[in-house]
Amino acid sequence: MNSYAEKPSKGNILIVDDALNNLNLLSAILHEENYHVRKATSGQMALATCNVELPDLILLDVMMPDIDGYKVCQQLKANPNTQTIPVIFISALDDALDKVKAFEVGGVDYITKPFQISEVLARVENQLMIQRLHNQLMEQNQQLLDLNSNLEKLVQQKTQQLIEQEKTALIGRLTQGIVHNFKNPLQTIMICSDLLELKIRRDTDFEYEEINRDIKIAAIEIQQIMDNLLIKSVSDRQLSLSLLNLNQVIEQEFTLLNANLHFKHRINKKYKLDENLPAIPLIYSHISQVIHNLINNALDAMWDCKVQELTACTHQDESYIYLEIHDTGCGIPLEDISQIFDPFYTSKPAKGSEKQLGEPTGTGLGLYTCIELLKPFGGKIKVNSKVGQGSQFIVSFPKANPSGSFS
């Protein structure tokens, strides 16, 4: 067996030269050095050979009868399949202009005849090394891009999970408030019922009418809470577009939050609603979640403030409808404002690591969720805030909905 056959090839080289003696000489030199060599005696043949199998490097004669080396090189560089193959020109012309042209058409090096064997080998090896390093870099770059896209997918998944957790937490807080608020009217009904029992047994002088009125008030209170809950749960499941009046959604959210006793009694609530606000196409559960998140942030910001005032405003101009939630809370330092919409940015402690009783906790997903939920409707959020005075979150909706996909 030929001993060369067992040595691995150092590279696949195409030599293009119409002078056969040159072609054979170069071929023999490179073959001796364990390169796999293919030969072409014209420019056309060189291009056809590349179509069959891509070489790692091309040694290209400049002066050839059909198409010259420059044109061959131009065609190779114009073809995405062959454009990265390094081309070394070989020519008897030792002229500065020709060398410039060789580089202009995409050549990487230039060898002039007569050449020394060691020079040819050094230049070939040099270019192959550059090519190998380039390929390695491209591969590593691709690996990095793949890794990056995997990482982005992971972050998206994780973010989605946390958004779901945030929603569940919201429902939890709501339920807690509702249960709390049911206790009062229920207590009243139970006491009244005990009194009635007593009255019936002992036939004492109790006021039937007064007791009956208290039972009714309590029952109506429970009825109202349940009605609100039912409307909300139906609307929340509605994931299609409907024409909504933001004033009504705001009022609904405030009424629901009244289930929370702190909200009901401690927060001074104000409305500045534009009665002529036109209805716009929105998804109820999305917009109600946005309002909820903004209100929750406002409540968090005011939790240890003396003045706790929450204002909901709506207004409009020619092109936009605005919804605003104002609070008299701690405000946001100027240097933090650019970050508050980033996912996971929070200035609040994580659940379980509060330093004071009742201190609000955060995940940093509330505002990010708002931005995501508003996007399909062309909705945007802006914020004005002063430390120690409070914040105003302003949501704007274009009157002409940009999203044709919803119409």
Ligand X SMILES: Nc1ncnc2c1ncn2[C@@H]1O[C@H](COP(=O)(O)OP(=O)(O)O)[C@@H](O)[C@H]1O
Q: Does 288 bind ligand X (CB under 6 A)?
A: no
Among the listed residues 13, 332, 373, 394, the single contact to ligand X using CB under 6 A? 332
Identify which range of 83-91, 175-183, 308-316, 329-337 contacts ligand X by CB under 6 A. 329-337
Q: Does 297 bind Mg ion (CB under 5 A)?
A: yes
Among the listed residues 101, 362, 394, 397, the single contact to ligand X using CB under 6 A? 362
Q: Does 297 bind ligand X (CB under 6 A)?
A: yes
108 binds, among Mg ion, ligand X, none (CB under 5 to 8 A by kind): none
Among the listed residues 41, 391, 396, 401, the single contact to ligand X using CB under 6 A? 391
For residue 25, give both structure tokens: 């000489």
CB of 349 to ligand X, least distance (A): 10
Q: Are 362 and 307 in contact (CB under 8 A)?
A: no
Q: Does 301 bind ligand X (CB under 6 A)?
A: yes
Identify which range of 27-35, 69-77, 248-256, 297-305 contacts Mg ion by CB under 5 A. 297-305
Q: Which amino acid is at 324?
A: E
CB of 205 to ligand X, least distance (A): 55
Identify which range of 12-20, 21-29, 265-273, 293-301 contacts Mg ion by CB under 5 A. 293-301
CB of 237 to ligand X, least distance (A): 24
Q: Does 340 bind ligand X (CB under 6 A)?
A: yes
Q: Choose between 185 and 343: whose C-beta lies nearer to Mg ion.
A: 343
Q: Does 163 bind ligand X (CB under 6 A)?
A: no
Query: How far apart (Å, rounded) are the C-alpha atoms in residues 52 and 71?
Result: 20
Q: Does 289 bind Mg ion (CB under 5 A)?
A: no
> Taking CA 80 as the corner, what is the angle to CA 77 and CA 82, rounded to the nearest 5 degrees?
60
Query: How far apart (Å, rounded) are the C-alpha atoms in residues 193 and 196?
Result: 5
Q: Are 401 and 377 in contact (CB under 8 A)?
A: yes
Residue showing the smallest CB distance to ligand X in the complex:
366
329 binds, among Mg ion, ligand X, none (CB under 5 to 8 A by kind): ligand X
CB of 246 to ligand X, least distance (A): 19
Q: In what order do the strands lie in the sheet with 87-91?
A: 36-40, 12-16, 57-61, 87-91, 109-112
Q: Does 394 bind ligand X (CB under 6 A)?
A: no
Q: Does 290 bind ligand X (CB under 6 A)?
A: no
CB of 377 to ligand X, least distance (A): 19
Among the listed residues 37, 327, 374, 401, the single contact to ligand X using CB under 6 A? 327
CB of 166 to Mg ion, least distance (A): 8
Identify which range of 54-62, 244-252, 316-324, 330-338 contacts ligand X by CB under 6 A. 330-338
Residues that bind ligand X (CB under 6 A): 293, 297-298, 300-301, 327, 329-332, 340, 345-348, 362-368, 391
Contact residues toward Mg ion (CB under 5 A) are 297, 366
